[in-house]
Chains A and B, each alone.
Chain A
Amino acid sequence: MRYTPLAWLSLLLLLVVGVSACSKRDEHAFYNSGLVYCSESNPVTFNPQLDTSSTTSDATSHQLYDRLLDFDPDTGRIVPSLASSWLVSDNGLTYAFQLRRDVKFHTTDYFSPSRNFNADDVIFSLNRWRLASHDFHFVSGGRYPYFESLGLADNIASIKRINGYRIEITLKRRDSSFLANLATDFSVILSSEYGKQLMQQGFPNRIDQYPIGTGPFKFESYRKDHFIRYAKNTDYWRDITIAERLIYDITPRSSLRLAKLITGECDATAFPAQTELEIIRNREDLTLAEKPGLNIGFWAFNTQRPPFDNPDVRRALAAAIDKNTLLEAVYFDSATRAKTLLPAASWAFQNDADDTAYNPVLARKLLASAGIEAGFSMTIWAMPVERAYNPNATKMAELIQRYLKEVGIDATIVSYDWATFRRHLQDGLHDSVLIGWSADNGDPDNFYRPLLSCGAIPSGTNRAMWCNSDYDKLLDRALATDDLEERKAIYQQVNRLLYERLPLVPIAHAYRYQAYRNELKGMSINPFGGVRFGGVSKTL
């Protein structure tokens, strides 16, 4: 009996010695072999065609899949990807794509491809969202929000297979943003062979849960609220370094993501909070990359409800608020003041656009002449979630509430949980709302059309419920030309029109941030969509 503690102790000692016996080199090699990314939430699906949220595209688009075309992250120009070259006909309606021959789909536990990527896969992938008659169109719900909001399916007349590695797409109307749309996170290429196999097995749903693509990583496993595991695609067609493993550690709390980044449990994190940026900047072992983001935070008025259908009232409200104060208080210098919908990162950005100014005297005068008496009450809807374009809508709403009080308006702040909030917005129950938009590609049409065109009211992205035929005509005219200067001139007219009618007050373009440990090499912010880990490596 007396020796029992001694026996315990020696056992413990043995364990500690045995465990610490492995060499430092093995250890480094192991920890260097994989990347851990602390992501903010669960992806809705593993097919980005089905969802526009950035969580989904971060987890899928650039890891599991490739697109026909890509954006160059530095210049924003469209560069070849699965399509090695393309030709546009003189009338701008027919696009011919030459495809790469050496691309293999993922080989996993659940699928091994018998052939390389070819034209059938492109047709399969595009037709899935385009044609209701496609076998997989209604699998997983049958909604393709990105393509729907742009009306892309209606504009494609046909997709033809010329030969195994050449396809031709014919449009009904000219669309100078068409190539850009094919390069977005959502236009991924799926495997038609895998689709057929699943259909035969009777589990078509699995195509979006057990994804097969051509990207640098292949899917291994996913546990909701915990992790997503990816393994290296050893057959990847691009000659880049790819880590052996990639793991998404799903961590909704931003403070915990930062803590894990500091302890090295994560190598990179999504969406550092504005208040944490200073901490990251001050640490020598961390890097904070920032780039002006393709986004806009704004205050939209419900233009279908009186008195907000009156442009003078909207101008008065815009003049009542001081945008600079909002920027300082809500974004902590991590955003630039917005004059129009377009941020400076877009090629169509207009430097000398008109902007509203803080002028409470003018505001009161305009309100009086519009017949709005002191004590008028309205609602400000503040979105309940954090987004880069508006990290704290409630705080912003409170500031605006105070400004409005000065011009004699009583504002109440309204908020629901995110799903209910969006549903009520779509029903038009709001007077005004603080919300925003992150663009999916660098094309200006991606801001103007979803946010304010008549067609975007039913699809639920036009929060001002504003419909103006002049505006829609200008947007269509801009798409009908390939001359960038001419398009730019048209967008300047659009800006002018928006300034006069003011269906919404542009507030800020937020920077995009990415925080990662210095050991990571090859990380860069992709301004045109999701995060990418192909080409990223780690050296401890």
Chain B
Amino acid sequence: MIRILARYSILFILTLLVLTILSFALAYLFPGDVLENLTGITPQNDMQREALMRQYRLDQNVVVQFVHYLGDLASGDWGYSFSSGLSLREEIGIAMPATIELSFYAILMALLIGIPLGYYAGIRSYSVSDKSINALSVTTYSIPVYWFALILILIFSLNLDIAPISGRISLLFDIPPVSGFILIDIMMTENIDKGLAMRDAFSHLALPTFAVGAITTASVVRLIRRSVIDVKNRPYITAARSRGLSGWRIFSQHVIRNALLPILPLMAIQITTLITNAMIVETLFSWPGIGNWLIQAIYQRDYPALRVGMLAVSTLVISLTILIDLFNRIIDPSREKYERATV
């Protein structure tokens, strides 16, 4: 167990190191001045410039520069945005939770809808209802998320006028960002009608969550259905059936767990796809998350923002991937043996 943890920590640290090297290199690779790309500060005169060069160790060799850069990253000095002049740490601190929040609700939706539907389809395999569920999930899975979100906007916002299309909450509510998660922030804000604010926030959440969640839901349905069908054909199910157990008991005692176990790692992989999808959907719904923020940074050639934004997003994705992998190992230790055997 400890060995596994140690191995994963080393893996994590090494990957992060490679990413920080890449991010540091970007300051040199982007057009323009290295100092400005690294700090986001445009020096007003030569004296200030020299002071900044010294402060960021840019007058020394690249290795010293990089070590100092690591220190800056760790201490929270991520530089300033060209376009807004604000601290990048603060900006990402606001944008990142918005993306995580959207992804979280989408995952919740995928699990709450996808798992029951998948089981149902698996149990009733090759019936009409299974075929329709399967057809629906294949269709949803094949739709590009960008196009799907636009269709949702067209139907539900512009034609039916039942859901707003932009942002997380009506701007009439003054919700100061404390945690960055809108529902939590509403709860923490004084002097507003919380019920009304919640409802407004939910109506803003509905479409983007659905757009991001639908595709993941479809793949969860497909994975579970496949797995249930596999389990159903196992000898122990036939044995249980021959012992005269009721359908419900077979399902609840043998199928649920056994079908879930082999696909957990596969479902976990969906999370990175989901975050990518969330970042695409954000730009369509003007959701103030990291994807939207990075797109703006690209438009405005905001190099310091791109440098740190790239690092922040990849750190998030890699942390999640490694954590999920670790989780899989812990719940299913047999995987390790299998992997060793293949090495």
> Taking beta carbons and an 8 Å cutoff, which residues of A are in contact with B?
2, 5, 8, 18-22, 26-27, 30-31, 33-34, 36, 220, 224-227, 229, 245, 247, 249, 251, 256, 259-260, 262-265
Contacts and interface: CB of A to CB of B under 8 A. Distances in A.
Contact of B161 (A8, A18, A27, A263): A263
B194 to A, nearest CB: 9
B280 interface: no
Main secondary structure of the interface of B (DSSP, over half): loop
B17 interface: no
Contacts of B288: 226
Given A36-B170, A265-B164, 7 more contacts: A5-B116, A22-B199, A30-B193, A224-B84, A249-B171, A263-B161, A263-B163
A256 B170 CA distance: 15
A31 B199 CA distance: 13
A227 B172 CA distance: 11
Nearest to A35: B172
Interface residues of B, number: 28
Given A263-B161, A264-B161, A19 B202 contact: yes
Nearest to A244: B172
B198 interface: yes
Given A2-B252, A225-B296, A226-B288, A20 B199 contact: yes
Interface of B: 83-84, 86, 112, 116, 153, 157-158, 161, 163-167, 170-172, 174, 193, 195-196, 198-199, 202, 252, 286, 288, 296
A263 B156 CA distance: 10
Contacts of A26: 193, 196
Nearest to A38: B166
Contacts of A251: 166, 286
Nearest to A2: B252
14 contacts: A19-B198, A20-B199, A22-B199, A30-B193, A34-B172, A36-B170, A220-B174, A256-B166, A260-B165, A262-B157, A262-B161, A263-B163, A265-B165, A265-B167
B193 A22 contact: yes
A265 B166 contact: yes
A8 B113 CA distance: 12
Nearest to A16: B202
Contact of A256 (B83, B172, B193, B286): B286
Contact of B196 (A22, A227, A229, A260): A22
For B161, B164, B174, the residue with the greatest tally of chain A CB atoms inside 10 Å of its CB is B174
Contacts of B170: 31, 36, 265
Q: Which 5 A-B pairs have the closest CB atoms?
A: A34-B172, A224-B84, A22-B195, A247-B171, A19-B199
Main secondary structure of the interface of A (DSSP, over half): mixed
Contacts of A22: 193, 195-196, 199
A172 to B, nearest CB: 36
Contacts of B296: 225
B193 A224 contact: no
A505 to B, nearest CB: 34
A259 B157 contact: yes
For A22, A33, A220, the residue with the greatest tally of chain B CB atoms inside 10 Å of its CB is A22
Contacts of B163: 263
B183 to A, nearest CB: 10
Contacts of A36: 170-172
Contact of A8 (B112, B195, B286): B112
Contacts of B166: 251, 256, 259-260, 265
Contacts of B164: 263-265
Contacts of B83: 224-225
A18 B196 CA distance: 10
B161 A245 contact: no
A323 to B, nearest CB: 35
Given A2-B252, A259-B165, A21 B195 contact: yes
A30 B174 CA distance: 12
Contact of A224 (B86, B116, B252): B86
Contacts of B84: 224-225
A22 B196 CA distance: 7
Given A19-B195, A20-B199, A26-B193, A259 B153 contact: yes
A253 to B, nearest CB: 9
B172 A31 contact: yes
B172 A245 contact: yes
A247 B86 CA distance: 21
A375 B170 CA distance: 59
Given A2-B252, A22-B196, A224-B83, A263 B157 contact: yes
